[in-house]
Amino acid sequence: MKIYRIIFFVVCAAIVCSSDCSVEDLDFYGHGLPHPEKPYDLYPYYESINNSRTPVFAWRCEEEDPAFELTFTYEVYLKRADDTGPQYEYESNEKSLQCPITLDPETEYIFWVKAIAGNELTETSETGRFTTGTGFNNPPHKPVIIVPKHGESYDLGLTFSWICNDPDGDNLTYDVLLKEVDSGEYETLSEGQTTTVYQPTSLEYSTDYYLKIVAHDAENENTSYHSYFDITNECVGVYAELMIHRSQYISKGIPPDPDERIVLDHVYARFDSLYAPDGPLFPKKPPAVTYFVGGDVTLWWDDAASRYYRNNPISGSFLAAGRDYTFTVTEGDGVPALTKMIHYPECRPYLITPDAFSFVPKDGFEVTWSGHDLYDDCPAEIRIRIMDMGPLTWTDIDRMVPNTGSYTFTEGELSVLDPMAYQIQVVLIIENREYIDEPGYDPRSWAWARTHSTLFLYLN
């Protein structure tokens, strides 16, 4: 009799559960079915104005389906904010919906989205609010940032990428904006670009950022989306800087030869375990570094500068223009082995005027140089800048200018300099730089060649 009672109560419990337990509560494994997330990031944006009268509704929603192949659908509810008109209801199998009707101009509307999983499980979004404009142009869809993913960590070598389209088929342009999490304003990195990728160059290690992409259509309507990411606090590999360098100084007025040109050649290799070139120096010293000039030439280690180097031998300059120089790095001290070629430019600027150590007027003067039209590898643009020889610091006058053989400094440019206070150095620089793309080396590593000419002047 006791056994029959147990069976009776088990059967009753099964009957009660069959009537009170819905599919929303139990699956056949006895686990709760997953609800869809509440739709979020509603578009048009909350309290946005001048929206299209045939807007595209869009939203985000995570569809988690670990146990079942549930079908996710969405319902969009729309009505005037003053509740004077009908309420519209539309269905969509996607996370967006083109409004099927033309809305009233300059009217405030509210809408909300319900996510439905398997026709049973639902979650409803917060209420969105927007105001229409007078036209019919639809703004672009919200850009979706592919890289960086929100909340992820990256190294400095990442490339931003995103996808976006326009419901009217308009051509789109994009602005790329970035800010540090702790700073107040976004910096515009790129404006009006047509591609959906961007390679940043100003990122720093151990820094958190917000990235914003703004999309513009033909009528300049736009939408944006931002992503949080951070740059890790460790660099990938060892930073390296390999350089060959020629400095030409016009020494007119310096005894014993007033027309002499002083030519100084330099070769050096520097290695760093972290943060260089924009932070603390943690030097590394591989066993040896050589460069090839018809034969391997050993560089000397300089403790003070934490680098291998070679300067002018007694016989004079040793760099030959237009030649390829090959560095060989011996593996050691955490520095991987490396063989890297650097092309030394044949183009060599030589400053002609003004005369060295002459007085030039603060209301403007012209600098001329030669060598800009003699060789095929002369760049179209060169860098010209001024150093204040009092504190030995570069001034804000730093220009990339056409390599036409002359440049005129204007009174407006020179107004930031203090006349007669310091000697002024005008430097014409031509540089060839390229990344060292080798295993074990930081992606910011450089191999580069520079040739420049220097002139000392007094600003009157």
**How far apart, in whole angstroms, are the C-alpha atoms of residue 193 and residue 174?**
5
Q: Kindly state the tokens that stand for 251.
A: 């020494």
Closest CA to 173 of 138, 225, 214, 226: 214
Closest CA to 271 of 338, 341, 344, 342: 338
Every domain of the chain with CATH number 2.60.40.10 lies at 40-132, 144-231
End-to-end CA gap in the chain = 119
One digit per residue, the tens of pLDDT, for the chain of length 460 reads 444 444 443 444 444 444 344 434 444 333 455 667 889 889 898 998 888 888 989 898 877 655 556 778 999 999 999 999 999 999 999 999 989 998 999 999 999 999 988 767 889 999 999 999 888 888 888 898 999 988 888 877 788 999 998 888 888 999 999 999 988 789 999 999 999 999 898 888 778 899 999 999 877 777 777 888 888 766 668 899 999 998 887 765 544 344 567 888 899 999 988 767 766 678 899 999 999 988 899 999 998 888 999 988 665 678 888 889 999 999 999 899 999 999 888 888 888 888 888 888 888 999 998 887 788 878 888 888 888 877 778 888 888 899 899 999 998 888 887 755 455 667 788 888 899 989 889 888 999 998 888 888 888 7
CATH for 40-132 (3.30.300.180, 2.60.40.10, 3.10.580.10, 2.60.40.1190): 2.60.40.10
CATH for 144-231 (1.10.3210.10, 2.60.40.10, 2.30.30.60, 3.30.70.930): 2.60.40.10
451: number of Cβ within 10 Å = 25
Q: Considering the entire predicted model, what is its pTM?
A: 0.49
Identity of the amino acid at 3: I
**Domain 350-459 class?**
mainly beta
Q: Kindly state the tokens that stand for 253.
A: 């007025």
Closest CA to 240 of 268, 206, 201: 268
**How far apart, in whole angstroms, are the C-alpha atoms of residue 145 and residue 198?**
12
